[in-house]
Amino acid sequence: MLDVIMVLLMIGMPALMMGLAKWSSSVVDEGSVNK
């Protein structure tokens, strides 16, 4: 059981970071005054 939780964590945390990358991308794509 603990193995399953650990594997889920090891997959879930990178997935969270990919979500963070998506959010960061939306921030970067905001309008710039100096492109």
Partner 1 sequence: MLVSLLSIAITLLIALLIAKPVGIYLANSFNYSNKNKLFYPFEKLIYSISGIKNKNQSWKVYASSVIVINAIMILLVYLIFRFQGSLPLNPSKIANMDPSLAFNTAVSFMTNTNLQHYSGESGLSYLSQMIGILFMMFVAPATALAVAIAFIRGLSGKSLGNFFVDMVRGIVRVLLPIAFVTGLIFVALGVPQTLDPTVTATTVEGGKQNIAVGPVGSFLSIKELGNNGGGFFGVNSAHPFENPNAMSNLMQILLMLLLPMALPFTYGKMVGNQKQGRILFVSMTMMFILFLGISLSAEYQGNQAINALGVQHDQGSMEGKEVRFGVAQSSLYSVVTTASETGAVNTMHDTLTPLGGLVTLSNMMLNTVYGGVGAGFVNVLMYAIIGVFLSGLMVGRTPEFLGKKIEGKEMKLIAATLLIHPLLILGASAVAFFTPLGHEVISNSGFHGISQVIYEYTSSAANNGSGFEGLGDATNFWNISTGIVMYLGRFFSIVTMLAVAGSLGVKRTVPETIGTFRTDNGLFAGVFIGAVFIVGALTFFPVLVLGPIAEHLTL
Residues that bind partner 1 (CB under 8 A): 2-3, 5-7, 9-11, 13-14, 17-18, 20-21, 24-25, 27-28, 30, 32-35
CA angle at 26 for the pair 25 and 30, rounded to the nearest 5° = 115
Q: How far is the CB of 26 from partner 1 (least distance, A)?
A: 10
Q: How far is the CB of 8 from partner 1 (least distance, A)?
A: 10
In this structure, what DSSP letter does residue 3 have? H
For CA atoms 26, 27, 33, 35, give the dihedral sign: negative
